[in-house]
Structure 1
Amino acid sequence: MARASSGRSRRAPSRSYGVTPWGAAFLRAFAAADSRRMSKARSYFRDRHVHGLTVDGGRITSSVSGSQLDPFEVTIELRTVDAPTVVGLLRAAGRLGDLTDVARGGQPVGLLEFVAPTEAADAVAGCTCPIDDRCIHVLATAYEVAAQIDHDPSVLLAVMGAPLAELLALANGTPEPDAPDRGHVVDAGRVVDDDFYGDRAALPDAPTLTDFHAFTEFEAPLLRQALRATGIAALDVAEAADELAAMYEHLGGRSRGVGT
């Protein structure tokens, strides 16, 4: 027997931001904003008004569509941290393994304390709209960055001018002197991944991936059809495609930019 319809249309799932400790820590630099603007900016974020989001060495840029025909251009510059200093602090605290944790998607509290912004003065923002530096376009961009950090904590490191690749290179360049075993191994001056099997074996280098991008090589209708075949609802296909595109950009290592 067919089930009676409730008469209510299914709404697209609401987007979230700043739901993890690292995402929330980034938003400290924007906590002093006007509450009414914050409410409007949340709507802009959830309705995907932020486009072309990029992160590069402590500088964030985006285009935010609003009530006018042309989008507004947003620039946010963060007070960056010094990568060698961060590695030195981690080494002194015996927490170099936090870098491995971040590479796996973890959000270690120890590393966060060394890199996160602490106050509104840590962020200087600008927008082509006539409002001041905490306009709804700047806030919507900040929420978009926080959402990206929730999914990939290494984005915060790029935002703060100390990308994960640089931190790992610095950590691997000097052996940790007489440090107790805390789940990672130092081999010939290189921090090796967790010593899971207890054989202190160095891991091989990661393979070189072919430059291939599914969202340029595949036809969009076929991709949507494949997503639907997995059981994803029609209203969720667009959001799933966005997340897949961001994953391919991250895995391909094409830039520090974050696609939206």
Structure 2
Amino acid sequence: MSPRGSQRRTPRASATRGYGVTRWGRAFVDVVEGVHTGDADRRRITQARRYFRDHHAERLRIGAARVTASVRGSQLDPFEVTLTMRPVDPATVVTLLRSGDATGDLMALTRGEQPSALGELVLPTESADIAADCTCPDESPRCIHVLCVAYETAAEIDRSAATLLAVMGTDTAQLLAAANETESAGDTTASAGDAAVPTVDYYGTNAVLPPLPTPPRLNPIMELDADALRAALRTSGIAPADIGEAIDLLDDLYDRIRDRPVS
């Protein structure tokens, strides 16, 4: 009879999977990965990407400011992961959108878009906004299993912008309701906001220029056509069984180039 350990389900093969390919998905990943700086951390990230690609995360559930999943790791039983976010307040988000004359972002959201002003108000901005817990023995702030679940979450955000709202403790209906509740006070808020904004004279000696845009952090490796990338690697002489590892190495190399300090 086969030993119990030999009955473990092995990861199923899959084509290259992507995550963080949209602005909101990438911003979420950046915050989760923000505590990783050393070589050991990079190894965790590389392994977590492999776990994500091979579907190690199962039973992913996204609730109000809470994400849970089971991740198959090095032991027989899967590890249980919980991500708990610092929730946003819908009324505050709507008020800030009004003050920035960006309430149109709510309608853009209903069309499946990822509007920038709303994203700045809803997305987590620092590591403390996301608390992580895993049943594995790794005591690092973000273990392999936590990272894997974060990548799965980012992939869901890529597929649906509304998923980010659930991750951060709200939803489209709550934001629209908050907008309707404050509609009567919207004109007063807007007037006060207009009075507080200084007049800009772009042609005078005291011209105030708008801030430069912040480009989204992109991951070219994840955005490449998966089939074309695999075909190119096979052409270069890499064995089919080693293509997944080669993609991870390319991804890690790009991270090192991108994060290299400018002298």
TM (normalized to structure 2)? Answer: 0.61
- Give structure 2 stretches of 5+ with no counterpart: 1-12, 192-263
Q: Secondary structure at the match of 1:86?
A: helix
Distance 1:35 1:154 in 2: 30
- Aligned counterpart, 2:152: 144
- Aligned counterpart, 1:78: 85
- Aligned counterpart, 1:253: none
Aligned ranges for residues 176-191 of structure 1 at < 5 Å?
A: 176-177=186-187
- Aligned counterpart, 2:168: 160
Offset of 1:13 from its aligned partner? 2.5
Partner amino acid for 1:157?
L
Distance 1:12 1:122 in 2: 32
- Aligned counterpart, 2:99: 92
Distance 1:172 1:65 in 2: 45
Cα pair distance change 1:92/1:169, threshold 3 Å = same
Offset of 1:89 from its aligned partner? 0.5
- Aligned counterpart, 1:120: 127
Q: 1:36 aligns with which of 18, 34, 43?
A: 43
1:173 aligns with 2:181: yes
Aligned ranges for residues 249-260 of structure 1 at < 5 Å?
A: none
- Aligned counterpart, 2:73: 66
Partner amino acid for 1:29?
V
Q: Secondary structure at the match of 1:18?
A: coil
Offset of 1:162 from its aligned partner? 2.1
Distance 1:28 1:54 in 2: 21
Q: 2:111 aligns with which of 95, 104, 117?
A: 104
Offset of 1:67 from its aligned partner? 2.4
Q: Secondary structure at the match of 2:152?
A: helix
- Aligned counterpart, 1:134: 142
What CA RMSD, in Å, does the superposition of the two structures yield over aligned residues?
A: 1.8
- Give structure 1 stretches of 5+ with no counterpart: 1-10, 181-260
- Aligned counterpart, 2:27: 25
Offset of 1:12 from its aligned partner? 4.1
Offset of 1:131 from its aligned partner? 0.6
Q: Secondary structure at the match of 1:177?
A: helix
- Aligned counterpart, 1:49: 56
CA contact (8 A) 2:14 2:53 kept: no
Which structure ranks higher in relative contact order (CA pairs < 8 Å, sequence separation ≥ 6)?
2
Q: Secondary structure at the match of 2:87?
A: coil
Question: Number of aligned pairs?
Answer: 170
Q: Secondary structure at the match of 1:63?
A: strand
